[in-house]
């Protein structure tokens, strides 16, 4: 089994079924073991051992054949939203702060917008930068998995659904919802649209709706430009749909 940034191999520790995950060396991977240790198996895959120097993690084995991608979208949104809230816990300041992330965004968004051919109205980039400054200076101090999407929630035995492959910052839980809208957007639109599912997400995760909309705009503009940089074709269109809905 493999993803874009790692390799996962089924193994056993004595008689216990586990998986060995080896990741590429990057900042997101460096914080994965710390995040899993902080959650201690509550809502997320359990970390059994780690070798930071080898970028290797030993994890409990989940059913990789069954994810929230295969679940009806209304149920998937509710389950993922509750997990997002559950994993948003106070932790020591050993993780990257959302304040630093927003500082980087304010510098790079206009440059990337120019680099990739001005793919969206300039006012959207300016609004994203303004919101990033406002939100970054007042953000919270909770551990947030900003890459919690439906394919990264797998069927478990200890709990029905468990999160894998987290990418985390310290900040607002509202920062972590955008990918739950752009992933499976077509299913969302077919089952009541963005208004309905956004409300469901906010209620299930007990989030601030104004902050959630603002962070989602920032995230969509950022991801839109990133998607163009790596040659994705559908995701920029999804981001455009969401930004149009937000604005």
Q: pLDDT (tens digit, 9 = 90+) per residue, 23-48?
A: 877 776 779 999 999 999 999 999 99
Q: How far is CA 3 from the centre of its chain?
A: 15
Instruction: Sketch the domain layout of the chain as residue ranges.
Output: 67-246
Residue with tokens 């559908």: 234
Which whole number is the average pLDDT over 19-25? Answer: 86
Answer positive or negative: Cα dihedral of 242, 29, 4, 15.
negative
Identify the residue with better confidence: 53 or 161: 161
Long-range contacts of 204-207 (CB under 8 A, 24+ apart): 204/77, 204/78, 204/81, 204/82, 204/85, 205/81, 205/82, 205/84, 205/85, 205/173, 205/177, 206/85, 207/85, 207/173, 207/174, 207/177
Q: pLDDT (tens digit, 9 = 90+) per residue, 57-73?
A: 999 999 999 999 999 99
Cα→Cα distances 181→124, 147, 201, 246, Å:
18, 12, 9, 12
Q: Which residues are catalytic?
A: 147
| Residue 128 to residue 90: CA distance in whole angstroms | 27
Calculate ∠ Cα 224-225-226, nearest 5°: 95
According to the model, what pLDDT value does residue 94 have?
A: 83
pTM above threshold 0.85: yes
Q: Which helix (H) or strand (E) holds 116?
A: none
Beta bridge partners of 90: 142
| Residue 193 to residue 201: CA distance in whole angstroms | 12
> 3.40.50.300, 3.90.1200.10, 1.10.540.10, 3.20.190.10: which CATH number matches 67-246?
3.90.1200.10
Residue pair 182/223 in contact by the 8 Å Cβ criterion: yes
Neighbours of 87 (CB within 10 A): 23
- pLDDT of 135 above 70: yes
What 3-state class would DSSP assign to 144? Answer: strand
| Residue 210 to residue 229: CA distance in whole angstroms | 29
Q: Is 171 exposed, middle or buried (0-12, 13-18, 19+ CB in 10 A)?
A: buried
- pLDDT of 79 above 70: yes
According to the model, what pLDDT value does residue 1 have?
A: 52
Backbone angles phi, psi at 210, to 5 degrees: -70, -45
Cα→Cα distances 199→44, 69, 119, 181, 204, Å:
24, 20, 29, 11, 8
């Amino acid at each position: 089994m493999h993803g874009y940034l790692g390799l996962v191999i089924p193994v056993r520790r004595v008689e216990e079924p586990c998986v060995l995950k080896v990741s590429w060396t990057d900042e997101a991977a460096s914080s994965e073991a710390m995040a899993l240790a902080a959650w201690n198996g509550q809502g997320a895959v359990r970390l059994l051992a780690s070798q930071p120097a080898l970028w290797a993690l030993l994890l409990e084995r989940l059913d990789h054949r069954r994810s929230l991608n295969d679940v009806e979208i209304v149920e998937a949104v509710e389950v993922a939203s509750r997990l997002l809230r559950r994993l948003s816990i106070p932790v020591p300041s050993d993780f990257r702060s959302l304040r630093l992330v927003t500082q980087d965004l304010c510098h790079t968004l206009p440059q990337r917008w120019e680099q990739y051919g001005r793919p969206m109205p300039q006012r959207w980039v300016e609004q994203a930068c303004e919101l990033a400054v406002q939100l970054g200076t007042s953000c919270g101090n909770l551990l947030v998995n900003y890459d919690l999407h439906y394919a990264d929630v797998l069927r478990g035995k200890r709990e029905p659904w468990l999160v894998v492959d987290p990418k985390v910052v310290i900040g607002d839980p509202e920062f972590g919802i955008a990918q739950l809208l752009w992933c499976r957007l077509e299913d969302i639109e077919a089952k009541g649209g963005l208004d309905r599912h956004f409300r469901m997400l906010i209620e299930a995760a007990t989030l601030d709706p104004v902050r959630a909309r603002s962070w989602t705009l920032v995230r969509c503009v950022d991801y839109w430009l990133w998607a163009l940089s790596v040659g994705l074709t559908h995701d920029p269109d999804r981001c455009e749909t969401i930004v149009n809905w937000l604005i």
